[in-house]
């Protein structure tokens, strides 16, 4: 059934003449009359009585009118929703983030939700390796993960992070330069478990190898908040991303580490075949925030 024929029925019923209905639909009267005739041919009975006073609905026409209104209203709602989805104003978005993006990812998501309230957003805290697999598998639409990204995924760099030493405030600050290795050998370390943070574990291992210090830890924890709490309690020092400054408790001092293995980039990654209007809108919002 052509939706135009139902629209013609409604217009003819709401206007006193076919000429007024034709004008309202921006077509000629003969073309409009042909649409009514096509609908009457499908029904098999006249839908209007034509006379000098205009066109009046027959019993059959009146019976079909309310159904036509319901169908056209539903079609209009469908068309409006399609347009909103095509513009990225409605839909669903699953976003992954990790340790290094713990500050920026929620901020971007909050700005995106404000700009696109019709989009439902799910935010998942995952390691970079888990995010990459989730993007590939379709569980995540976009992810804030360590760079470089795999070649089969698209990406854009967002921020840089680096390693720092977090230690109890009462401890003497670690020295810079070549003496740092000796300081690390003489102080116990607390670390995030490699299962929870494989990227951080690999980065820390590379850094310790670079300065010639064995990777030894006296205690592990499954989240950075616990690691920092253990540091604050005086259990040991920890090598953590600088981005954790925002969640560090009192009585914890932090010092930057230097070296090629102490820095890395974080980017947003996504699948090229999943660049939906919602994903595109999120990337545009990210670019706008990054430019501010």
Structure tokens at 185: 């050998």
Using CB atoms within 10 A of its CB, is residue 78 exposed (0-12), middle (13-18) or buried (19+)?
exposed
SS in 3 state form for 36-67? Answer: HHHHHHHHCCCCEEEECCEEEECHHHHHHHHH
Please give the model's pTM, rounded to 2 decimal places: 0.68
- Mean pLDDT over residues 233-244, rounded? 92
Upstream peptide bond of 148 is cis (omega within 30 degrees of 0): yes
- Please give the helix or strand (H or E) that residue 140 lies within, else none: none
State how beta strands 48-51 and 54-57 pair: antiparallel
Of 212, 127, 122, 232, nearest in space to 169 by CA: 232
SS in 3 state form for 150-167? Answer: CCCCEEEEEEEEEEEEEE
Between 176 and 134, where is the model more confident? 134
- Mean pLDDT over residues 136-155, rounded? 95
- How many contiguous H segments (helices) and E segments (strands) does the chain have? 10, 11
Residue with tokens 């040991």: 236
Residue with tokens 């409604």: 10
Between 100 and 31, where is the model more confident? 31
Give the model confidence (pLDDT) of 75-96 as tens digits: 988 888 888 777 777 789 999 9
Q: Report the distance separating Cα 262 and Cα 116, nearest Å.
A: 37
Give the model confidence (pLDDT) of 118-131 as tens digits: 899 999 998 899 99
Residue 74 pLDDT = 92
Residues 145-174 as b/e (b if ≥16 CB within 10 A, e otherwise) read: bbbebeeebbbeebbebbbbbbbbeeeeeb
Give the model confidence (pLDDT) of 95-117 as tens digits: 999 878 887 898 899 999 998 99
Among 27-31, 231-235, 245-249, which is the least confidently predicted range?
245-249
pLDDT at 142 over 90: yes
Residue 236 pLDDT = 93
Confidence of residue 215 (pLDDT cuts 50, 70, 90): low
Between 51 and 111, where is the model more confident? 111
- Mean pLDDT over residues 170-183, rounded? 85
Confidence of residue 44 (pLDDT cuts 50, 70, 90): very high
Contacts of 124 (CB under 8 A, 6+ apart): 94, 95, 96, 97, 131, 134, 140
Residue 52 pLDDT = 76
Q: Report the distance separating Cα 285 and Cα 49, nearest Å.
A: 57
What does the mean pLDDT of the chain come to? 90
State how beta strands 142-146 and 91-97 pair: parallel
Percent of the chain topping pLDDT 70: 99
Confidence of residue 132 (pLDDT cuts 50, 70, 90): very high
């Amino acid at each position: 059934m052509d939706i135009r024929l139902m629209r013609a029925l409604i217009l003819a019923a709401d206007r006193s003449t076919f000429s007024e209905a034709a004008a309202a639909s921006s077509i000629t009267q003969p073309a409009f009359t042909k649409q009514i005739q096509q609908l009457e041919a499908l029904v098999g009975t006249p839908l209007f009585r034509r006379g000098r006073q205009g066109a009046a609905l027959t019993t059959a026409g009146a019976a079909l009118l309310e159904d036509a209104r319901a169908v056209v209203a539903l079609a209009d709602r469908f068309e409006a929703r399609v347009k909103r989805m095509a513009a990225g104003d409605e839909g669903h978005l699953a976003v992954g983030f990790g340790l290094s993006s713990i500050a920026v990812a929620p901020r971007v998501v909050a700005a995106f939700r404000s700009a696109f309230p019709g989009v439902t957003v799910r935010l998942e805290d995952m390691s970079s390796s888990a995010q990459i697999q989730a993007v590939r598998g379709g569980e995540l639409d976009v992810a804030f993960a360590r760079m470089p990204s795999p070649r089969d995924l698209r990406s854009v760099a967002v921020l840089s992070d680096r390693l720092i030493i977090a230690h109890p405030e009462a401890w003497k600050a670690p020295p810079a330069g070549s003496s740092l290795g000796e300081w690390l050998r003489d102080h116990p370390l607390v670390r995030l478990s490699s299962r929870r943070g494989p990227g951080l574990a690999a980065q820390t291992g590379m850094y310790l190898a670079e300065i010639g210090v064995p990777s030894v830890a006296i205690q592990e924890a499954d989240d950075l908040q616990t690691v920092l709490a253990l540091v604050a309690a005086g259990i040991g020092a920890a090598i953590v991303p600088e981005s954790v400054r925002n969640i560090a408790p009192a009585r914890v001092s932090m010092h930057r580490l230097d070296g090629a293995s102490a820095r890395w980039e974080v980017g947003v990654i996504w699948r090229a075949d999943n660049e939906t209007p919602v994903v595109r809108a999120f990337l545009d919002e990210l670019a706008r925030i990054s430019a501010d």
